[in-house]
A = this chain, B = another copy of it.
Amino acid sequence: MKWDTLDEEQCSLSRTIAVVGDRWTLLILRECFLRVRRFEAFQSSLQITRHLLSERLKKLVRSGILRRVPYSDAPKRYEYILTQKGLDLYPIIMAMVHWGDTHMGDERGRPLLHEHKSCGKLFDPVMVCSECGEPLHAKQVHVHAGPGRKEAVG
């Protein structure tokens, strides 16, 4: 497949995969949500090769997920900060974390606990219907072709 044109496909999943669908990008985003912002910090916490880190950060900036913000003029240094578009990836990351907690856990229990500051409790993320607020299950969803597509293929 030509991954460089994946974002032109008539499928929102393909378009998302085009920008955040690889292992390193997802791990880099995890670090971003944990407030990591600098090249050396990403590199040492992920043990990613510098080459790939450089590539991935550039791509994330190009796709508007990170902003490259100067924090020092001499020498020129930048840090990478999530844009709103990047922050909106949070449900994806949380959904993956929650699935890992549920299905890939070991006997020691989950690695991280999440506290919702608004209500003060430890929580799990739950995906609900925007209209009725009920939790969503695959079998309760029916798919229609939308205006951006002739027939339902994905």
A interface residues with partner B (beta carbon < 8 Å): 1, 3, 6-7, 10-23, 26-27, 30-31, 33-34, 45-48, 64, 82, 85, 87-106, 108-119, 121-134, 136-149, 152-154
Contacts and interface: CB of A to CB of B under 8 A. Distances in A.
Pick the most buried of A88, A110, A122, A129: most chain B CB atoms within 10 A of its CB: A129
B149 A129 contact: no
A46 to B, nearest CB: 8
B130 A16 contact: no
B91 A33 contact: no
A57 to B, nearest CB: 17
Contact of A99 (B14, B92, B141): B92
